[in-house]
Amino acid sequence: MRKVFHWGVRAAVGMFALVTLVACALHVTNSEGDAILDPPSGNALRIASYNVHYIVLSEKTGAWSVGDWDRRKAPLDKAFKALQADIVAFQEMESWSRGSDGSVNLKRDFLASQNPNYGVAATGNWREFPTTQPLFYLKERLQPVDQGWFFFSNTPDVIYSRTFNGSFPAFATWVQFQDRETGDQFRVANVHFEYSSRSNRLLSAALVRDRLRPWVEAGETVFLVGDLNALYGAQTMDILEEAGVRFDRIPGATYHLNKGVHLIGAIDHLSRTPDVELNNGPVVVQERFDGEWPSDHHPVYADYLLPSATK
């Protein structure tokens, strides 16, 4: 019996060591290292995606509480400024209290106050426009022309309608922009798919595909970005590419368990229509700011050349 016990202990220790070794290998594989945050070159357009995790307004302390936000707010602002992006598409920019009440949005309002050179699109009265997936844009360069939303639901045009399997509402926002200097117009669609239900992700991807396809077929320049909760090459991505967009592979982990641990590949992604040329990236910014992780996701960005810049 003692020999069996000792064998079992050795086996358990060996298994733990193997798991640890595999985890370390995955962490190294999915870690990009310190990103060099140079500004975009020439007339390249920098688009970023960033899941910033919601705040629970009823909690004063603990993870994702109001007190936690007070600690992370300056680091988040530094991360935002470091991106030097023309557009940042946010997910989970929500101050949650109950239901779909979006009357308070601490992160959106704080970043807007600290960055007056940026405007905020894909937002509005929360009763008419979901406010938790805004797009910040550089006002000097870009002008919003139109904006909209649709929910991943059997009734996509009903605000806050629940997803296909009845889980919490999930949705897409989109903004049509015009470049003030070149006159180029393009759309950016910003999505956040559910993490726990593969069937919901696939149905949501099919809906997004069907909404994007008419824009692409009409010859519009389109970017699709956001948190897909799916790895590169997943069926979710295959469905979305049927709309006529192409995903560029993200070189490292974007979700890090709020600890800087990189065990899986990117789940936050960027895509573009064929008329757009990739100029630089994509890049994952796997860094702390002021010694803090601003969110449990890292931001990801890429630099693009719009059609007028490639002629």
Range of the structural domain that residue 59 is part of: 31-310
Tell me if the bond preceding 40 is cis, omega within 30° of 0.
no
* Total number of domains constituting the chain: 1
Residue 217 parent element (H or E): helix 198-217
Task: Check which CATH number belongs to the domain holding 215 and give it.
Answer: 3.60.10.10
As a whole number of angstroms, the distance between CA 174 and CA 278 comes to 21
- Say if 134 falls within a structural domain: yes
In a domain, 257, yes or no: yes
User: Could you give the strand order of the β-sheet that contains 135-138, starting from the edge strand earlier in sequence?
Assistant: 118-121, 135-138, 87-91, 45-51, 300-305, 277-284
- pLDDT one digit per residue (tens) for the chain, 311 residues: 545 444 544 544 343 333 333 333 344 444 554 455 788 888 999 999 999 999 999 999 999 999 999 999 999 999 999 999 999 999 999 998 877 788 999 999 999 999 999 999 999 999 999 999 999 999 999 999 999 999 999 999 999 999 999 899 999 999 999 999 999 999 999 999 998 899 999 999 999 999 999 999 999 999 999 999 999 999 999 999 999 999 999 999 999 999 999 989 999 999 999 999 999 999 999 999 999 999 999 999 999 999 987 76
221, part of any domain: yes
**Domain-located, residue 259:** yes
136 belongs to a structural domain: yes
Q: Which residues pair with 269 in a beta bridge?
A: 226
Within-domain flag for 2: no
Report helix, strand or coil for 211.
Answer: helix
* Residue 131 lies inside a defined structural domain of this protein: yes
Tell me the DSSP string of 14-38: HHHHHHHHHHHHHHHHT---S---P
Whether 69 is in a domain gets the answer yes
CA nearest to 223, candidates 305, 167, 310? 305
Q: In what order do the strands lie in the sheet with 142-151?
A: 142-151, 171-179, 185-192, 221-227, 268-272, 246-247
Residue 158 carries which DSSP code?
S
